[in-house]
Amino acid sequence: MKYANEINKRKSFAIIAHPDAGKTTLTEKFLLFGGAIQTAGAVKSNKIKKHTTSDFMEIERQRGISVATSVMSFDYRDTIVNLLDTPGHKDFAEDTYRTLTAVDSVVLVIDCVKGVEEQTERLMEVCRMRDTPVIIFVNKMDRDGKMPFDLLDELEEKLSIRVRPLSWPINMGKDFRGVYNLYNKSYVSFSPNKKATDDDIVPLKDLSSSFVDENFNEKDADQLRSDVELIEGVYDPFEKEPYLEGKLAPVFFGSAVNNFGVKDLLDTFVEIAPLPKPRPASTRDIDPYEDKFTGFIFKIHANLDPRHRDRIAFLRICSGKFERNKFYHHVRLDKDMRFSNPYTFMAREKNIVDDAYPGDVVGLFDTGNFKIGDTLTEGEELFFTGIPSFSPELFKELVNKDPMKTKQLEKGIRQLTDEGVAQLFTQHNGNRKIIGCVGDLQFEVIQYRLLQEYGAACQFNTLPFYKACWITGDKQKIEDFIRFKGQNIVEDKDGHLVYLAQSEWYLNTERSNNPDIEFHFSSEIH
């Protein structure tokens, strides 16, 4: 328990949302409260508005220069808050899924007009796989959106999680008056673009207070009282335990762009969000309070400047203390390495760090030693589990356009897929290379980067597959299946067997024809 003081200060989380719900805006307001930035507009949206490669590359270039926005750390009320950034574009969702393996909780932003959207559901599925605690922020209450009770029902239904409002809006849209905080019984009135200091908060003993009658018209006062009575009747009182187990999501209402409801959210976050937790590894669970250092790589960021091929690998510290210039064991390569320039990130700058603790993320310069999922230890042979690859949704064959550059292409595609840009599958007993992606933009990026960084020209031929299923089961049965379905069998980068299904119908047919084989939609990296 040598480092308990440090560990007990750290809360690491990500903000997740369907694009346009307000993630960037909320991030910025958090950073303003944390004093990490001084002016609005300092956080650049990583959203790709035009769907073109050059637009993406421009953004990546900017991000490459200021990798700082990948992790934003700030102090708030004696807590060191580490906010991990996630890509704003759905084509890069896999990057987000992996970032979710490195955080201890998430804040989910919902647009009150649109409710639960497609990407919201998928992100929440990933959170549920790991029982990640979730706080929900219903944003854009200054617009006429869905009725709050309907939204709560929709959240429960579509996200399969119990919800519990901790704040409650009084009207919405142009009539939006403010929110009543059910957690600490106080009222904050809405005014656009406010700074939200403590002074705006009016503590109320309960809603029979004369303040309510004096400040609201009769209709609003009655509505608030009956809503709150209904909430207290229908929902159990808020308890921290089910929230920490990922079973119950507290809900806040506000308007990020108006900086409204954000402070309530942040105050509650630092109060209830989890500290770094034990993490499962191949041999045992690793407790953050152990003296010895462990950590894993969850993201690799390429430097897109061809003159500087180095990359930055993002290391999540899981236990002990990480120190600059100390030798650590790279388990997969069975190699000891030390890092002379590890970075931490403040909102806009990166700083060399001497030591870091569980919950922190440091950036390590990498010349090709790391791939996603790699573990560093002080010598113990173990690797962290629970860092999955998910089935891609689009599959294309990689075709070399320049036979003179075969080697460069091979190297380039290995390195890019190590970074997690896409997944590489190789034909079983063959050489065909199949790239699996979540979105089309990823293929464009690969093509662009192979040419720019490795001098290798390629093209992609679309393949008619819809899902990759990792297959496990009885050896003989698998061999028979491979003989029968050879055309559809590939291996992932770790040599695991994968069946590529043309359609749901094919998949279901194979499933029922092969009851001794298990078909998985995700696979552990390693």
> What DSSP assignment string belongs to 440-488?
HHHHHHHHHHHHHHH---EEEEE----EEEEEEE-HHHHHHHHHHHGGG
169-203 burial, b if ≥16 CB within 10 A, otherwise e?
bbbbeeebbbbbbbbeebbbbbeeebebeeebbee
By the rule CB under 6 A, 284 interacts with ligand G4P: no
Binding residue (CB under 6 A) for ligand G4P from 8, 40, 42, 45: 45
Helix (H) or strand (E) holding 314, with range, is strand 311-319
Interacting positions 222-251 with ligand G4P (CB under 6 A):
none
By the rule CB under 6 A, 140 interacts with ligand G4P: yes
Residue number, 17 or 182, with CB nearest to ligand G4P? 17
Beta carbon of residue 366, minimum distance to ligand G4P (angstroms, whole number): 28
By the rule CB under 6 A, 23 interacts with ligand G4P: yes
Residue number, 96 or 294, with CB nearest to ligand G4P? 96
By the rule CB under 6 A, 51 interacts with ligand G4P: no
Beta carbon of residue 27, minimum distance to ligand G4P (angstroms, whole number): 8
Q: Which of 163, 100, 90 is nearest to 130 (CA)?
A: 100
Binding residue (CB under 6 A) for ligand G4P from 6, 8, 9, 20: 20
Helix (H) or strand (E) holding 363, with range, is strand 361-366
Binding residue (CB under 6 A) for ligand G4P from 7, 14, 16, 17: 17
By the rule CB under 6 A, 139 interacts with ligand G4P: yes
- The span from the first CA to the last CA of the chain, in angstroms, equals 30
Q: Find out whether 363 is annotated in a ligand binding site.
A: no
Beta carbon of residue 458, minimum distance to ligand G4P (angstroms, whole number): 31
Q: Find out whether 29 is annotated in a ligand binding site.
A: no
CA distance 379 to 294: 9
Q: At what angle do helices 148-159 and 118-129 cross, to 10 degrees?
A: 50
By the rule CB under 6 A, 110 interacts with ligand G4P: no
By the rule CB under 6 A, 265 interacts with ligand G4P: no
Give me 31's structure tokens.
Answer: 């950073």
Q: Which residues contact 222 (CB under 8 A, 6 or more apart)?
A: none
Beta carbon of residue 201, minimum distance to ligand G4P (angstroms, whole number): 19
Window contacting ligand G4P (CB under 6 A); options: 17-25, 333-341, 397-405, 411-419: 17-25
Which residues fall in the annotated binding site for GTP?
A: 85-89, 139-142
Q: What is the contact surface with ligand G4P in residues (CB under 6 A)?
A: 17, 19-25, 45, 47, 88, 139-140, 142-143, 255-258
